[in-house]
Every structure is written in C-alpha cells, then in structure tokens.
Amino acid sequence: MTIRTYESLPTAAARIGVSVKTIRRRIADGVLPVVRSGRSLHLDPKDVDALLRRYPQRTASEFNSAALRPARRAS
C-alpha cells in the first residue's frame, strides 16, 4: 500500500513559484484537481508538477534561422 501525500495551496504555490491566486484559478478552470478535507483544500504534488511544461531546447542554428525570417503580420 502506498501512502498518498498532499500539500496545501500556499505550499504548492511557493514550491513552483506562483501565487495562491494562480493555484486557485487553475482549480476553478478545472486544470488542477483538488481534494477537499472539511474546509481545507489539498493538492497532489504530482498534479501540481504537471502544470509545469518543459519547452523543447533550441539549437543555435534554430535561433539564427528564426531571427532571419520576416515577422508575420496579422491581417
């Protein structure tokens, strides 16, 4: 049997470097699942970590070719 661990909203916000208000917005949007215990809200750290996305690494040649392309205009 595995023991589940949960963290409070302020703890989760501090750990990933966002405000508690941002965490509450993600909960309201349905992006972040929450567990309620009485009046307290708790988050699974894995769900909080899933909010963070890793962007792909770009090579120097990709940066240079992107800089040479003209900007697209919105019509």
Contact indicator for 41, 35 with CB cutoff of 8 Å? yes
Q: Please report the sign of the dihedral spanned by the C-alpha atoms of residue 41, residue 48, residue 32, residue 3.
A: negative
Using the predicted structure, report yes or no on whether residue 67 has a pLDDT greater than 60. no
Phi, psi angles (nearest 5°) of residue 43:
-120, 145
pLDDT in tens, 4-46: 899 999 999 999 999 999 999 999 999 999 999 999 999 999 9
Higher pLDDT among residues 72 and 14, named by residue: 14
pTM: 0.68
Task: From 53, 58, 43, select the one nearest 10 (Cα to Cα).
Answer: 43
